[in-house]
Amino acid sequence: MTIAQAALTGALIGGLYALMATGLSVTWGVLRVINLAHFAMILLGAYLTYQLATSTGLDPILTVLITGPVLFVVGAAVQWAYDRLHVAEFTSLLVSFGLLIIAIQAVTLIWSADFLRMPGDINPYATESWTVGRFVFPVTTVLAFGLALVLVAALHLVLRRTFAGRGMRAIAQDRAVAAAFGVDHQRLSLVLGGVAGASAAAAGMVFALTNALSPTAAYEWFGIVFAVVILGGIGQVVGTFAAGVAVGVVSAVVSAAWSPATAPIVLFSAIVLALVLRPQGLFTLRSVVGAGR
C-alpha cells in the first residue's frame, strides 16, 4: 500500500475515531463528567448491530435506526443517574469505570468471548470499495467519515447557533449564572447524554461492519479515543474531528511505513507531548487563558 493510500484510508478511518470520541468529549467538556461507560455504549451498539442483522436479516446499516434511539435512552439514563447521585469530575471516572467493567462482562455472558463477525451475505459492505483514479475508498470508511461529518456539523451548529447550544456552553463555565437566566442544566444534560449515546450507536454500527467483535475491544479503544479527545481539546467538537483525522492519518502512515505495532507508541508519545506543550488541545481555535479571577 502506498503511503498516499495509507494516508487516505487513515483519514477516512479517522472519521470513526472522531465518531467514537465526540460524544465523550462533549459530555466531558460541557457536563464535566468523564463517562467511561461511553465505551460500553459503543460496544453495545456494535453487538446489537450484529444481533439485529443476523437475527432479522435487516441491513446492518439500517439497524442504527433502532440502536440509535435505544442508546439515546440509555445515555440519557446514565447521565440522569450521575446527576441524581451528584457524580462529577473525578468520581465519575471511577463510577463509570465500574459500569464499564460490568457491561463488558455482561456482553461476554450474553454473546460469549468468541470473536463474532457478520457473514458476507448479511454484511456486504465489509469488502466493498469505490475506486477513483489510483485511490481506493473502502465503503465502510467512507460511511464512518460521512457520519462523523454529519455529527460534527450538527453539533457544531447546535452549539454555536442555537439557544440550547449556548446554554450548554454557559453551564460548562458558570452553572449558577446560567441558571439565573433560565438554563435548566438537568434537562440539557439529559439531552446531551442521549446524543452521546446515539453517536455511540452509530460508532458501534460502523465498527461492526468492518471488524470482528470481542468484548475486550472496548479496552482497545481507550487509547485512541482519549488521544483524540485530548489532542482535539476537551469539548471542542470541530477540534475533535480534526484530531480524529490526524490520528487516523498518523496511525495509518506509521503502520505502513514501519509496522502496525509502532503506531500506539507514536500516538501516546504524541498525547504526552500535547499535554505538556499545549494542554488546551492542538486544534482548539482560541481560549482565554488566565482571564477573570
Partner 1 sequence: MRRYGGFGLAFLILAAIGLWGRDAGVPGFVVPLGITALFWIAQATSWNLLSGFSGYFSFGQAAYVGTGAYAVAVLTGRHGVSLVWSVPAGAALSGLLALAIGAVAFRLRSLRGEIFALLTLAVPFILAAVASINRTIDGGQGTTIPLPSVPGWIDGFPQLLFVLDAAVAIGALAVAAAVQHGRLGWGLTAIRDAEDVAEGIGVGTLAYKMWAILLSGLIGGLSGALYALQIGFVTVEGVFGLTIPLLVIVMSVLGGRTHWLGPAIGALLIVTLQDRLAASGYTDWNPIVLGAVLAVLVVVAPDGLYGRMRARPWAVIGALVVPIVAGYYIPYGDLQNWVLAGMLLAALVAVVPARWLPARLLRPPRPEPVPAVDRPAPPEPGPPGETVVECRSVARYYGGVHALEDVSLTVAGGELVGLVGPNGSGKTTLVNLLSGTVRPSRGAIAVAGQDTARLAPHRIAHAGVARTYQIPRPFDSMTVRDNVAMAGMFGRRRLPLAQARAEAGAHLETVSLDRLAGAYPGSLNLHQRQLLEMARAVASEPRVLLLDEAMAGLNPAEIDEAVEVIRRISAAGVTIVLVEHLLRVLNQLATRLVVLDRGRVLADGEPQAVLADPAVVRAYLGRQTRV
Partner 2 sequence: MSESLLEVRGLDVHYGDAQALWSVDLTVGPGETVAVVGPNGAGKSTLVNAIAGLQPTTAGEILVAGTDVSRLVPHRVCASGVAIVPEGRRVFAQMTVADNLALGAYRPAARREHRATLARVQALFPRLAERAGQLAGSLSGGEQQMVAIGRALMARPTLLLLDEPSLGLAPVVVDEVYAAIAAIAESGVSVLVVEQDVPRALAVSQRAYLLSEGRVATTGTPAELTDSAEVRRTVLGL
Distance CA 153, CA 168 (A): 16
The partner in contact with residue 181, picked from partner 1, partner 2, none with C-beta cut-offs of 5 to 8 angstroms by kind, is partner 2
Piece of 8-16, 95-103, 144-152, 159-167 that binds partner 1 (CB under 8 A)? 95-103
Q: Find all residues with CB under 8 Å of 101, minimum gap 6, and list them.
A: none
Does 84 contact partner 2 by CB under 8 A?
Answer: no
Chosen residue from 86, 132, 180, 259 binding partner 2 by CB under 8 A: 180
Q: Per this entry, what is the length of the chain?
A: 293
Query: Could you tell me how many residues of this chain bind partner 1 (CB under 8 A)?
Result: 44
The partner in contact with residue 222, picked from partner 2, partner 1, none with C-beta cut-offs of 5 to 8 angstroms by kind, is partner 1
> Residues of 229-256 as b/e, b for ≥16 C-beta within 10 angstroms?
bbbbbbbbbbbbbbbbbbbbbbbbbbbb
What's the closest the beta carbon of residue 287 comes to partner 2, in angstroms? 6
Q: Residue 71: name the closest of 89, 49, 95, 93 by CA.
A: 49
Q: Residue 61: name the closest of 139, 129, 7, 153 by CA.
A: 139
The partner in contact with residue 180, picked from partner 2, partner 1, none with C-beta cut-offs of 5 to 8 angstroms by kind, is partner 2
Does 167 contact partner 2 by CB under 8 A?
Answer: yes
Does 182 contact partner 2 by CB under 8 A?
Answer: yes
The partner in contact with residue 95, picked from partner 2, partner 1, none with C-beta cut-offs of 5 to 8 angstroms by kind, is partner 1
| Helix runs in the chain, H state only | 3-31, 37-56, 64-84, 89-111, 139-161, 163-173, 175-180, 185-210, 217-232, 237-257, 262-277
String of contacts with partner 1 for each residue 34-53, x by CB under 8 A: x-------------------
What does the binding site for partner 2 look like in residue numbers (CB under 8 A)?
Answer: 163, 166-167, 169-170, 173-174, 176-185, 286-288, 291-293
